[in-house]
Every structure is written in structure tokens, then in C-alpha cells.
Structure 1
Amino acid sequence: MVKSSYSKGVWQIVGLNFLHNRLLSLWKLAGRLDCVDLEHGFYLTHFSLKDDYETILKKGPWFIGENFLSIRPWEPDFRPASANITSIAVWIWLKKLPMEYYNPEALLHIGKSISNVLRVDSHTAMETRSRYVRMCVQVDVDKPLATAVLIGKFEQPICYEGLQRLCFSCDRIGHCKENCPYTIRFEPSPRVLETKEDGISDG
């Protein structure tokens, strides 16, 4: 029985042939893999072997370069044009983090206090960078992003990489401050015209 799933690249939409070749290299499947471009950044993947399908869904997270693939089982009546992906993966920087926290256990604990950790930069994990920590976390695009995390007695700022459409009013992703739907805007009051009743002078 052929199993199917669909995937979406978060930060860039790649060509079908490129994606197919990269998935074959990444997944190292025992059976056949077929890909179909569903448009709007979604791709349908068919697995000839059930074991391959179940392995791909259970393992991961999966990346092509630094682009996270959101992989899910096929859903009946799936419509790419109206599909809603509420969570995405983003890279964050923790600048000038004290060196005593540069170990896998501490970094994972810090990351989990921010969100679900998908990956820690390999250079960070090997402690070859001392200027900042870089990790990939999964965030809900409908909720405000954390701007800092409390580590011990100090507050560590969080920098988000590549979020050009981050609203600095509500801290959500997907729109800019000028078009924020969560900001209450007060319209100026209608201009009040002063009038005088008939028969009453200015005195």
C-alpha cells in the first residue's frame, strides 16, 4: 500500500527536481519515492514502502540546508491554497551567553524554555563560537514571540534570524507593525462645529 504525506518548505520554495533529489539523499529510502508539486509551497510525497513512510514521520526534524520541512500525513480534502500552517521553525541567536552554558544539556534546557528545540548549531555545540549561541526552535505564528529568556539571575535577549515580517507591536509573525490586526487604533474624534442658535448674539 502506498503511503503519502505532504511537506512544506518554510523559508523558500524549491524546484521539484531539486527537492526530489535532496530528499532521496537525505532520507536514504529502501523503496521508491515520488513527488508531486501541489503549488503554494506544498509537495505530495508517495512512498512505495510502508516502513519508509513511518520512519520519515517518526524521525527528524528534517532540513534542506537551513530550511525546515514541515512534514505531515496526508489529510482528506487537503487544499493547498487554503491550508494553514500554524507553526514554523526559526533560527534564534543568544548573543554573549556566558561560556558555562555552552554544553548540550544546558543549551537544550535553555531552548526548551523558549520553545520546542529542533536543532542546535553544530559549531555552537562544539564550543567553537563564543560570540553567540544559535539554535532552531519551532514557534506558533499566531502567538507572540518571546523576546527574552531568564537564565539564572539575568535576562537573555533573543534575536530572531531572517524574520522580515515580524511585527514589533504584537511580536507576531506574518505582518508588519503598520498593518498589525492586534493593535487597537483610536480614530480621531469628528471635528466639532460650533454653532449659535437663532436669536442669540455673541453678546
Structure 2
Amino acid sequence: MEVLDLDSDCFLVKLDNEQDYFRALTDGPWVIFDHYLVVQQWSPDFSTSDPLPKTMIVWVQFPALKVHFYHKEVLTALGNLIGRTIKLDYHTLTQQRAKFARLAVEVDLSKHLVPRIFLDGRWQKVEYENLPLVCFECGRIGHMKALCPSLRPKGSAGEIVLAGSLSPTMTRPAEVESNPGFGPWMLVTKKKLAELKGQPQKR
């Protein structure tokens, strides 16, 4: 591992081991002396003068997802509706667990979190693990509802529709809700996180 000290309390870390690389990206958020350490993939657009990181990789869960959606291509497409799919949980990929599907997704911090998607004729909840400071007014990371700088915009902001069918059994494509509601149910409970502790993660 090589660490390069940059300005603005930023560091560039180079890892030769792929397993360590994905662990650093997806096993967080990392906390050092009660402060969150934001870890993200390096990009040519990165600048230490930016006040906040533009993206963050988080674990998301699809609770009670129908079993016939447990396919790599389908889950990757669903994750891409939330952000950009980075990897699938080992137990999800091997279909060893069906209570919920789990995957790591890179989310855009300038946009609100996606609380649910319309999939196969019903609303599918999306839950997020270990997120710091989620505002249930605007759905963004970084502040609480009491300190929200503005109310959630009214009206439709448009819909994101996945072109084509995700599987032969689907009756319609998946959609992201255009005017969602936010709440504590978006966050994975400590009990569920405790159940995941110690499980191996693979690509």
C-alpha cells in the first residue's frame, strides 16, 4: 500500500491487492476518532478544492426481493437505477440468502437517495447500510432534517426508466419514483447489520 498526502486533509492510497481495494471501498463508512472518512475511487475529475466529495459507495439492500430477480445482470441493472453498481454481495450472488439482495452502489451525493423503485407491478423498498446524517426531508446525505437548507422541491423531477425487460417474468420495466417520500425505514437497522457481521464478501 502506498499513501500520498494531499492538501485539504485528503490522501491518495494505492493498493496492489484487489481484495483490499474493494474492502476499502465497500466495507465502510470508516470512522476515525469519531469522524467519517469518505473513501471513493480516484477519478481524473477529482480536486482537493471541492468542498465535499461528489460520490460515495454504500451497501444497499432490496428486502423481500422476488427470488427470480436473483441474477447478476438483473441486480446490476437495479443497482444502476440507484447509482452505479460496484459489486454484489457474495451470498446474494450465489443465492445462499433470499431474505434480501445486497449490493454495493456508488451514489451521487448531489442527488437524493432512491427510497424505492417500481418493479414488476409493485414498489420495492431500498434500504441503506451505515449511512451518516441522512435528511428525511430532502433525502440527501450530510445533514439532518432539522438543518435541511431547503424543502424538497415540489412537482415531478422526471422518471428514470430501465429500457427493456429485466427478465422474462417481468410485466414492465423498473422505475425510480419521481416524487418519493423519505423516512427512517430507508436505513438498515442495527439488528440486520449484526446479522451480516463476519460474512465474507467477494466480487
Tell me the TM-score range normalised by the shorter chain. Answer: 0.5 to 0.7
1:71 corresponds to 2:46: no
Give the direction of change, closer, same or farther, for the CA distance of 1:90–1:183 in structure 2 (3 Å limit): same
User: Identity percentage over the alignment?
Assistant: 27
Mapped contact 2:10–2:48 kept (Cα < 8 A): no
Query: Tell me, which stretches of 5 or more residues in structure 2 are unaligned?
Result: 29-38, 153-203
DSSP-derived class of the 2:97 partner:
coil
Per-residue deviation, residues 145-183 of structure 1 (Å, max 9, x unmatched) = 111011110110111111130000110000001100022
Structure with the largest fraction of strand: 1
TM alignment of 1:81-100, pairs within 5 A: 83-100=51-68
Give the match for residue 131 of structure 2: 163
Give the direction of change, closer, same or farther, for the CA distance of 1:158–1:74 in structure 2 (3 Å limit): closer
DSSP-derived class of the 1:172 partner:
coil
TM alignment of 1:54-69, pairs within 5 A: 62-64=22-24, 66-67=27-28, 69=40
Give the match for residue 201 of structure 1: none
Taking the aligned partners of 1:178 and 1:149, their CA distance within structure 2 comes to 26
**Cα distance, 1:69 vs. partner?**
3.5
Query: Tell me, which stretches of 5 or more residues in structure 1 are unaligned?
Result: 1-19, 21-33, 185-203
**Cα distance, 1:110 vs. partner?**
1.6
CA root-mean-square deviation: 3.0
TM alignment of 1:17-166, pairs within 5 A: 20=1, 34-38=2-6, 42-44=10-12, 62-64=22-24, 66-67=27-28, 69-73=40-44, 79=48, 83-166=51-134
Mapped contact 1:90–1:139 kept (Cα < 8 A): yes
Residue of 112, 125, 140 corresponding to 1:172: 140
Taking the aligned partners of 1:161 and 1:135, their CA distance within structure 2 comes to 10
TM-score normalised per structure 1: 0.59
DSSP-derived class of the 1:72 partner:
coil
Taking the aligned partners of 2:118 and 2:8, their CA distance within structure 1 comes to 38
Q: Given residue 139 of structure 1, which amino acid in structure 2 is its aligned partner?
A: V
Give the greater-gyration-radius structure (CA).
1
Taking the aligned partners of 2:146 and 2:55, their CA distance within structure 1 comes to 23
Mapped contact 1:90–1:138 kept (Cα < 8 A): yes
Taking the aligned partners of 2:59 and 2:14, their CA distance within structure 1 comes to 29
**Cα distance, 1:83 vs. partner?**
4.5
Aligned length: 139
Give the direction of change, closer, same or farther, for the CA distance of 1:46–1:175 in structure 2 (3 Å limit): closer
TM-score normalised per structure 2: 0.59
Give the direction of change, closer, same or farther, for the CA distance of 1:97–1:45 in structure 2 (3 Å limit): closer
Per-residue deviation, residues 40-89 of structure 1 (Å, max 9, x unmatched) = 55223589xxxx9xxx9xxxx844261453213487xx546x55311111
